[in-house]
Amino acid sequence: MKATTYQIKPLGHLATPFADKFGIPRQPRLAPHAIGTLQLLPPYNRAECVRGLADFSHVWLQFVFHEVAGQWSPTVRPPRLGGNAKVGVFASRSPFRPNSLGLSLVELLDVDTRDGVTLRFGGVDLVDGTPIIDIKPYIPFAESLGSLESQPDVRSGFVSGAPPQLAVEFSAAANQQIAAASEANLRELISEVLAQDPRPAYASDVYRLYGVRLYRYDVKWRCDGQTAFVESLDPIEHST
């Protein structure tokens, strides 16, 4: 008898700078200063579970799109197509998938086994608290894009190269707030996130003020289509 359902338990929940999904880079490694920390849960928090992992520079994280779990559609509207044209869900990386599973390639920055197991990753593209269900090392000879791009029969559908990036400028007030912040590389993270232009595809109002929540800040910014202007970093108020 083949199993019709499977039980999956998280290895841990990834801590990231992204308080909600708006502003998260649409692919991994586009914001190298987006750092994720994963504390493995028992019984996976044993040093032998990660023996040899530090010898790899990058890993695949398999995770659950937990905020939209159970929601799926046979067709989706990829941002790369302007948010209008539809493709099949299996021709996309949409989170609205039948089994709510995702895959992300990130840089492995540190493996700490002094008290359980804590892993640090660079270039994460996942919302804070994402359940991680598996970790696999990245193998360049089999998985490197560089080894494939020279082959004439390789196609990438509607995705043709990296998207264009915005310039990012900071107001005097934002500069002062960043200088007073305790988070390392906050300016670099904000620049990397906003350079990807996280606005909806239909956005055109140059006066509209957007907010991207990073760490404990609501980063307020505007965009004229070419440059993202960071106005301020407002503290996020947590309800009690």
Q: For strands 35-39 and 12-14, give the pairing.
A: unpaired
Alpha-carbon dihedral of residues 213, 215, 218, 219, nearest 10 degrees?
-90
Residue position matching structure tokens 């990296």: 162
Amino acid at 134: D
DSSP class of residue 207 equals: T
What is the number of H-type helices and E-type strands within the chain? 4, 12
- Residue ranges in the chain whose pLDDT is less than 50: 239-240
Give the bridge partners for 2, in sequence order: none
Res 215: pLDDT: 96
* Secondary element (H or E) of residue 131: strand 130-137
Burial of 66 (0-12, 13-18, 19+ CB in 10 A): middle
Res 152: pLDDT: 63
Res 148: pLDDT: 53
Res 240: pLDDT: 44
Query: CA-based angle 185:189:190, to the nearest 5?
Result: 120
Largest CA distance in the chain: 66
pTM: 0.88
